[in-house]
Amino acid sequence: MLAFTIRRLLQAILVMLVVALISFTLFRFVGDPVNQMVGVETTPEQREALRELLGLNDPILVQFGRFITKAAQFDFGTSYQFRQPVAELIGRRLPATLELSFVSAVFALLVGIPMGVYTGLHRDSVLSKLFLSISLIGISLPTFFIGILLIFVFAVTLQWLPSFGRGEVVQLGWWSTGLLTWSGIKALILPAITLGLFQMTLIMRLVRSEMLEVIRTDYIKFARARGLRQRSINFRHALKNTLVPVITITGLQLGSIIAFAIITETVFQWPGMGLLFLQSVQNVDIPIMAAYLMLIAFLFVTINLIVDLLYFRVDPRLRVERAAH
């Protein structure tokens, strides 16, 4: 277990270093950082002084080392377009994105798993076929179009829910939450469904195919022969064994939920970091791009690491296999 953990940790650090290198290259070589910071009337001497001050004349390796040290403290300098520290800008937007991602992941799990169990157990029922057709459409519809459809139906035509923004937010220290006000919750519903729909269909299909396989196994037949109640067989014995891949996929999808939030945030004008990142791409605001890249990579790598270790804990076969070697 320890050797496995250490190896995975080293791999994670390697990935982070590679991403840091890409971020650094972006920051240092795409466009001239000095040009972005000063006006037209700045003299060459002043520019040179600024270069010296920023350390842009040092050897590249030294600069890279400094970049990593600063990145570890989440110091990415000043945004070109807002003239504010990048860390502050992202920090202010982070709660909105994390709240949206979390709620949509919960939605995907709470709806996806029961649907998957149902379609797995009742293969040929009409409802199962309906669920499966919906899931196929859910996978084929682009996220942004789902968002627009939902806005069109629930915000424009029915006028039940707001179509943009976060509603009223409550400040808890540095964290701003929309979950404590009625308008905040109402504003969250459509974006969360839009973001979670793809994951929901994925989880449903996964649970379904795992259920189909598990139900054929001997130990389920044995449980049935023992006269256990069907409900207890389905949920205690069968579902439990389908959960390993579900944990993996959900974990891995958590990362892409945060990335796909870019689209949802654009459709609903949700003031999160995805929207900030998109603006920074359109305005070539390299410090924000670099910081966002590092942050997402860090989230991905951490989640992957946790999922791998969880896998190890949940599936005893993996441990036995390793012990045998």
Residues of this chain that interact with other proteins (CB under 8 A) are 14-15, 18-19, 26, 30-31, 136-137, 139-145, 148-149, 151-152, 156, 163, 255-256, 259-260, 262-263, 266-267, 277-278, 280-282, 284, 286, 289, 293, 296-297, 300-301, 304
Provide the token pair at 285: 């605001």
Cβ neighbour number for residue 324 with a 10 Å cutoff: 6
User: Between residues 114 and 142, which has the closer beta carbon with respect to other proteins?
Assistant: 142
* Distance separating alpha carbons of residues 263 and 97, to the nearest angstrom: 12
Could you tell me the CA-to-CA distances from 256 to 7, 9, 304 in Å, in that order? 24, 21, 12
User: Between residues 140 and 171, which has the closer beta carbon with respect to other proteins?
Assistant: 140
**Minimum CB distance to other proteins, residue 300 (Å):** 5
Amino acid (1-letter code) at residue 270: W
**Minimum CB distance to other proteins, residue 131 (Å):** 16
Q: Which helix (H) or strand (E) holds 19?
A: helix 2-29
* Coil vs helix vs strand at 227: coil
The structure tokens 């390793």 sit at: 322
Q: What angle do CA 7, 9, 15 make, to 5 degrees?
A: 105
**Minimum CB distance to other proteins, residue 179 (Å):** 26
| First vs last C-alpha separation in the chain | 13
Query: What is the SS3 assignment for 138-181?
Result: HHHCCHHHHHHHHHHHHHHHCCCCCCCCCCCCEEECCEEECCCC
* Coil vs helix vs strand at 243: helix
Residues near 146 by Cβ (< 8 Å), separated by ≥ 6?
138, 194, 197
Closest to 273 measured CA to CA, from 299, 250, 247 = 299
**Contact in structure between 77 and 37 (CB atoms under 8 Å):** no
**Contact in structure between 45 and 53 (CB atoms under 8 Å):** no
